[in-house]
Amino acid sequence: MKILGFPAGMFETNCYIVVGEDSRCVVIDPGQDAAPRVERIVEAEGLRPEAVLATHGHLDHVWNAREVADRYGVPALIHPDDRYMLTDPGRGMSGSVTTMLEGQSFTEPAEVVEIFDGEELDYAGLRFSVDHVPGHSEGSVSFTVTAEVETGAPGGGGAGSAGELTVCFGGDVLFNGGIGRTDLPGGDHEVLLGSIAKKFLTRDDDVVVLPGHGPQTTIGQERAANPFLRGL
C-alpha cells in the first residue's frame, strides 16, 4: 500500500489517494479544488481509481466528490446521516460559508453507496474497516486499513516506511493535538468524546492516524499528550 496526500482548497483539507494492488486506488475526501490534482497524480502514477470515500459530508471534504467519482465512473461512499450534504452542503456549515455558497448548486455523484458502522470495504486489493464516529457530524466515519505501507509525497518525495502498519483515516474527529469542532449543525461535544474513547483510544498506540486537516499522528501520541483527551 502506498499513501499519497495533499491539502486542498481554502480549507486545506487533506485529500488522500490510497494505492493498493495493480495500481488500483481509492480517493479519500476530495475537497475544494482537489479534482485537478487527483487527475494529475492518477495520470502520473498510472493509477486506476475504484471508489471515492468520504469521512463525512462537510463541504470541505466532499466539494469535488462528484467530479472525481464521475470522472472515473466509480461510486462515492458516505454514511447515510451525512448524505444530504452532497446536495445541500450549506445545512452542515456555518453562516459565513453558507453565504459564500449562494447561487451555487450541488448534485450527487452518479453512484452513491451508503456505508455503515462495522462494514468491511474491499477496494484496490485492500480491506477498509468502517467505524461510525459521530460528534463532529452525525455521519462521520473513519476508515482503517492494515497493510504493508509505503508513504510519501506525490512524485516520489517524502520518506518511505517499511513493514506492516495500521492506518486510520479519521476525518475531523481526532487531530494532532486536537479534536474536531462541534459547533456546526449535527455536532455534539460529548458524543464526539464518546466516539474517540470507543473507536480511537481502544486501538494500539502504534496505529497511525491521518486526519482531515494538519499533520499525521498516532494513537499513542494523542493518548499521552492531547489535552482534550484528559480523563477519557
Alpha carbon distance 212, 14 (integer Å): 5
pLDDT attached to residue 158 = 42
Which of 22, 38, 30, 11 lies closest to 169, judged by CA?
A: 30
Among residues of the chain, what percentage have pLDDT more than 70?
90
pLDDT tens string 43-53:
999 999 999 99
How sure is the predictor about 232, in pLDDT bands with cuts at 50, 70 and 90? confident
Lowest-pLDDT range of 11-15, 58-62, 156-160: 156-160
- Give CA–CA dist 81/186, Å, rounded: 10
Q: How many domains does the chain have?
A: 1
Mean pLDDT across the chain: 92
Instruction: Write out the chain in H/E/C secondary structure.
Output: CEEEEEEECCCCEEEEEEECHHHEEEEECCCCCHHHHHHHHHHHHCCEEEEEECCCCCHHHHCCHHHHHHHHCCCEEECHHHHHHHCCHHHHCCHHHHHHCCCCCCCCCCCEEECCCCCEEEECCEEEEEEECCCCCCCCEEEEEEEECEECECCCECCCCCCEEEEEEEECCEECCEECCCCCCCCCHHHHHHHHHHHHCCCCCCCEEEECCCCCEEHHHHHHHCHHHCCC
CATH number of residue 54's parent domain: 3.60.15.10
- Which structural domain, as residue segments, surrounds residue 115? 2-97+104-229
| Per-residue model confidence (pLDDT) at position 155 | 43
Q: pTM for the complete prediction?
A: 0.92
pLDDT at 25: 98
C-alpha 201, offset from chain centre: 18
